[in-house]
Structure 1
Amino acid sequence: MMPVAGDVYLITGGSGFLGQEVTKLLIEENRDLSEVRILDRKIQQDFVETLQALAGSRIKLMMFKGDVRDKEVLQKACQGVTDVIHTASAIDIWGNLSKEELEDVNVEGSRLLLETSIQQNVKSFVYTSSVEVVGPNVRGDPICNGDEDVVYLGKLKFWYSRTKYTAEQLILTMNGCLLPNGERIVTCALRPMFIYGENSRFILRHLDKGIINGDVLWRSSRKQALVNPVYVGNVAWAHVLVARAMKDQDKKKIVGGKFYYITDDTPHMSYSDLDHELMSSLGFTIPEKLSMPLLLMYFIAFILEMVAFLLRPFIKYVPKTNRHLITMLNTKFTFTSHKARNDFDYIPRYSWEVAKNKTSTWLASILQQRRDSLNKKQH
């Protein structure tokens, strides 16, 4: 393959919720970009057409269908690439996926992608981590406006969280690794808060529950369990900015091998109150308090977990909730992104007002479609 003049980016999970926004912003904001490659298990044709319109004749687009466990696809996708943004991962906080599958995708897949990137002389590697690699721990110890220097102890319950942390540390420890061409790779990880915005399947799930419940949203978290969600466009913007910093001779020495929390000016609120903020304009309401005492919720979740354990030899039963999910939804857990601002000039691109309006407008555009779909299923 002939070398290309300019930056060649590979975005894993590039057709996904976050990956789409990263790709679009890269095309819009990177003047030195000559080629964008997307690696994903599903390539959405309407998204490809959107990218083609954005890229015009200036930027070459390549699509690779597959995932990060496919060595042959990785070799083709990474050849000639200068920069990798690794957003792809298996996400599971309910227990739908096995420990082995989560490790296979999140850890071994990331390891294989990193090894292939090093073999192919990739200069920079950005990893999309998560605030969940920190916690909450099983005790539900709170954090208020934490930063990268906060030491937070305790065992992580979710295998998703554990595998994301393992992959993150693997990638960060390879910062400065010698490449075959004599240069050294720069690696970095971003830890966004809970990401919301257009096309969020988590927000969609909560919308559907609200429709089924007569336009009343389910309160799964106490009002005082404050978190600070972050808009998908701002998380994507952070990826573009840190990737830019990793090309600067001075800044790459600062960001290389580091992780950064990514937040914006979305107000601190509970997960349930975020749903209400985004959907109240559509006519949805939400109870002021949990439907039952928190202790009772834990007890019921424990019983359901025991039932799932006893049935495991015979059938796979996945409860709709579990004790750690209840802890996560009801623990005060907020962070700041001051370090990202200091080290690579991260300032949120979209205000809370804009983010809220864009998300609510998207929800309004699909509301009737969701109602019709759920009515068909019920009848």
Structure 2
Amino acid sequence: MPGWSCLVTGAGGFLGQRVVCMLTQEEELQEIRALDKVFRPETREEFAKLQTKAKVTLLEGDILDAQYLRRACQGISVVIHTAAIIDVMGDIPRETIMDVNLKGTQNLLEACVQASVPAFIYTSSVEVAGPSSYKEIIVNGTEEEQRENTSSHPYPYSKKMVEKAVLAANGRTLKDGGTLHTCSLRPMYIYGEGSQFLSYIIINALKNNAILTYTGKFSIANPVYVSNGAWAHVLAARGLRDPKKSPNIQGQFYYISDDTPHQSFCDLVYHLSKDWGLRLYSGWIPPPPLLYWLGFLLEVVSFLLRPIYNYQPPFTRHLITVSNTVFTFSYKKAQRDLGYEPLVSWEEAREKTSEWIGSLVQQHKGTLNTKIQ
């Protein structure tokens, strides 16, 4: 697979950064174009330090700018599209989410057609499959089951509509007469050092002297470590470019998990942070049905106050649904078609994430020379 180039959107994000870093190890890769709306100074510094033969080009531009995307795609062999607005709390207007997630992806697909980019990999989400209700129970689900989230919440709805658009674009004729090949990856909840969501939970735990458990105590999930999620994207890029593997991958979607133990979200946070003295909240937690209706009341209060005050509820019905269900999926199809095997074990992932959490603890509680006993 001689001389190729890759555009990564959302390259300044949690997953996108890892994808860029992992691509630098790919043979014959001549250029990586890292696209995001804005890059933080520390991200620019990290990319500048990358040891790679490939040219790394940072592009700052809006995914809603169709002309800019067309220029960014010129001469590119593979697009890895990780950029998206993620919203579980209902903080962001529905129109904004649909514009960026759906319209932005449609712009990018059209740019690929016009610039004759033959391979397109989309970072979807397990939320395309659900859960649609806190009562839903899925254990080791597979792609063959064709599950679809029926929620009207803008984030899972947008991801579902985008994935349909991406897979429907498979087989489109490119401007140069070639063919566009697409596939979609559905990672589980992604954790690891640098996670904004984990950072939010840990900082709140430090303020409250405990890890609050109303969003996760009653769940069973199989999260994926960020480097393993990024590795699946690299393998998908290899696969779509390999004529022998490509027919099996084209137009397909894949669940991406790893060997992180199936556990509740609260237990995951506890196992990642216990070395630093953080403990789970031990008081009474309302069961999911009560939490769900409390979430509904909080949303009503937020809606009624909106003309005079921007009240952000501590949790919503959507958050309770996604964080208090039994919802796990197998990665066997990715193993079969992409050759996917997790690069990082649970033990190593836990250790690396725990070290990062330790730096957060030090930052917010003062310098700690020894672990809290």
**1:123 deviation in Å?**
1.2
Whether the aligned pair in 2 keeps the contact of 1:230 and 1:266 (CA below 8 Å) is yes
| Structure 2 match to 1:306 | 300
**1:222 deviation in Å?**
5.7
| Structure 2 match to 1:376 | none
Structure 2 counterpart of 1:60, one-letter code:
K
Between stretches 152-161 and 85-94, larger displacement belongs to: 152-161
Whether the aligned pair in 1 keeps the contact of 2:118 and 2:179 (CA below 8 Å) is yes
Structure 2 counterpart of 1:257, one-letter code:
G
| Structure 2 match to 1:70 | 65
1:361 aligns with 2:347: no
1:100 aligns with 2:109: no
CA pair 105-344 structure 1, distance change in 2 beyond 3 A:
same
- Please state whether the residue corresponding to 2:336 is helix, strand or coil: helix
Whether the aligned pair in 2 keeps the contact of 1:35 and 1:61 (CA below 8 Å) is yes
**1:261 deviation in Å?**
0.1
| Structure 1 match to 2:14 | 17
For residue 219 of structure 1, the aligned residue among 213, 216, 226 is 213
1:189 aligns with 2:162: no
Whether the aligned pair in 2 keeps the contact of 1:40 and 1:66 (CA below 8 Å) is yes
CA pair 153-78 structure 1, distance change in 2 beyond 3 A:
closer
- Please state whether the residue corresponding to 2:30 is helix, strand or coil: strand
Task: Give the fraction of aligned pairs with identical amino acids, expressed as a percent.
Answer: 42
- Please state whether the residue corresponding to 1:267 is helix, strand or coil: coil
Counterparts of 1:116-265 in structure 2, within 5 Å, are: 116-138=111-133, 140-152=135-147, 155-214=150-209, 216-221=210-215, 223-265=217-259
> In structure 2, how many angstroms separate the alpha carbons of the residues matched to 1:319 and 1:46?
31
**1:367 deviation in Å?**
1.6
**1:71 deviation in Å?**
2.2
**1:344 deviation in Å?**
1.1
Structure 1 counterpart of 2:49, one-letter code:
A
| Structure 1 match to 2:277 | 283
CA pair 249-23 structure 1, distance change in 2 beyond 3 A:
same
**1:62 deviation in Å?**
1.2
For residue 315 of structure 2, the aligned residue among 306, 321, 339 is 321
Structure 1 counterpart of 2:61, one-letter code:
G
- Please state whether the residue corresponding to 2:39 is helix, strand or coil: coil
**1:283 deviation in Å?**
0.6
> In structure 2, how many angstroms separate the alpha carbons of the residues matched to 1:279 and 1:310?
38
- Please state whether the residue corresponding to 2:203 is helix, strand or coil: helix
> In structure 2, how many angstroms separate the alpha carbons of the residues matched to 1:26 and 1:184?
24
Structure 1 counterpart of 2:211, one-letter code:
L
**RMSD, aligned CA:** 1.8
1:42 aligns with 2:43: no
| Structure 1 match to 2:260 | 266
> In structure 2, how many angstroms separate the alpha carbons of the residues matched to 1:14 and 1:145?
30
**1:153 deviation in Å?**
5.4
- Please state whether the residue corresponding to 1:246 is helix, strand or coil: helix
**1:372 deviation in Å?**
5.5
> In structure 1, how many angstroms separate the alpha carbons of the residues matched to 2:202 and 2:291?
22
> In structure 2, how many angstroms separate the alpha carbons of the residues matched to 1:147 and 1:335?
6
> In structure 2, how many angstroms separate the alpha carbons of the residues matched to 1:293 and 1:46?
42
CA pair 259-103 structure 1, distance change in 2 beyond 3 A:
same
**1:282 deviation in Å?**
0.7
Structure 2 counterpart of 1:34, one-letter code:
Q
For residue 8 of structure 1, the aligned residue among 5, 9, 13 is 5
Q: Which runs of 5+ in 1 are unaligned?
A: 374-379
**1:309 deviation in Å?**
2.3
For residue 27 of structure 2, the aligned residue among 24, 31, 34 is 31
Between stretches 252-261 and 44-53, larger displacement belongs to: 44-53
Structure 2 counterpart of 1:129, one-letter code:
S
> In structure 2, how many angstroms separate the alpha carbons of the residues matched to 1:137 and 1:254?
29
Between stretches 264-273 and 302-311, larger displacement belongs to: 302-311
CA pair 46-223 structure 1, distance change in 2 beyond 3 A:
closer
Whether the aligned pair in 2 keeps the contact of 1:219 and 1:290 (CA below 8 Å) is no
**1:287 deviation in Å?**
3.4
Structure 2 counterpart of 1:124, one-letter code:
A
